[in-house]
Chains A and B, each alone.
Chain A
Amino acid sequence: SQQGEEDPQALSIQEGENATMNCSYKTSINNLQWYRQNSGRGLVHLILIRSNEREKHSGRLRVTLDTSKKSSSLLITASRAADTASYFCATGSQGGSEKLVFGKGTKLTVNP
């Protein structure tokens, strides 16, 4: 039951550039989260945005949410080699359980 789909599947940029990843989902949501995964390691929560929020910032991260388009974007500004990881969006449905459904992720490579 895949809910979120990230785009692109892979992204390669140079250090210092901005990286933008997108997530589209199918059913209405209350909240959307972004997670990061370093190769083969556990996922780490980055940011949660609620359905009544349009934008949220955390350090170099900026997340937007457009509920009319059922989409979210994650922007990493001034990227660093250490940002190299896979990034996942996760959603739960309105009226649904605590269950989170993850997309397949965007693999970001930041070249030094």
Chain B
Amino acid sequence: EAQVTQNPRYLITVTGKKLTVTCSQNMNHEYMSWYRQDPGLGLRQIYYSMNVEVTDKGDVPEGYKVSRKEKRNFPLILESPSPNQTSLYFCASSTGTGGAGANVLTFGAGSRLTVL
């Protein structure tokens, strides 16, 4: 089944304890992206990647890191989490070849992160 898999789905952690949210897709997609979703703010893009070893900042990259060493994986790293990073996180992927606005995204199920 074509899918984007995120882990963990739920996580409660404490301020400053490094964590990684993994994201893996099995569709051979070139484009991958991380979003966070907060009440009243909608979905905001954190980072995206057009291909292996190519990453770029989205709208809210502060406090996050990503890497794209393999096509299928795009982990999100919080080096020193803070309470304002408590959010619902989504990984998404697409072929990335549709042109501006034609990028049809397949989303993961989400990872709900709470930082105390």
Pairwise interchain contact A104-B101, C-beta atoms closer than 8 A:
no
A78 sits at the interface (CB 8 A): no
- Complex CA gap A99/B96 in Å reads 9
- Complex CA gap A97/B48 in Å reads 11
* Chain B residues whose CB sits within 8 angstroms of the CB of A93 once the complex forms: 100-101
With A1-B59, A2-B42, A102-B42 in contact, do A48 and B110 touch (Cβ < 8 Å)?
no
* Chain A residues whose CB sits within 8 angstroms of the CB of B11 once the complex forms: none
Pairwise interchain contact A43-B105, C-beta atoms closer than 8 A:
yes
Interface size of A by CB at 8 A reads 33
Pairwise interchain contact A92-B104, C-beta atoms closer than 8 A:
no
Pairwise interchain contact A98-B31, C-beta atoms closer than 8 A:
yes
A81 sits at the interface (CB 8 A): no
Main secondary structure of the interface of A (DSSP, over half): strand
Pairwise interchain contact A100-B110, C-beta atoms closer than 8 A:
no
* Chain B residues whose CB sits within 8 angstroms of the CB of A98 once the complex forms: 31, 48, 50, 94, 96, 98-100, 103
Binary contact track A67-97/B, C-beta < 8 Å → 1, others 0? 0000000000000000000001011111111
A40 sits at the interface (CB 8 A): yes
B88 sits at the interface (CB 8 A): yes
Residues of B within 8 A of A (CB): 4, 31, 35, 40-43, 45, 48, 50, 58-59, 88, 90, 92, 94, 96, 98-110, 112
Residues of A within 8 A of B (CB): 1-2, 29-33, 35, 40-45, 48, 50, 88, 90-105
User: Which 9 residue pairs spanning A and B have beta carbons closest together?
Assistant: A92-B101, A42-B107, A31-B101, A104-B42, A92-B100, A102-B43, A31-B102, A96-B100, A98-B103
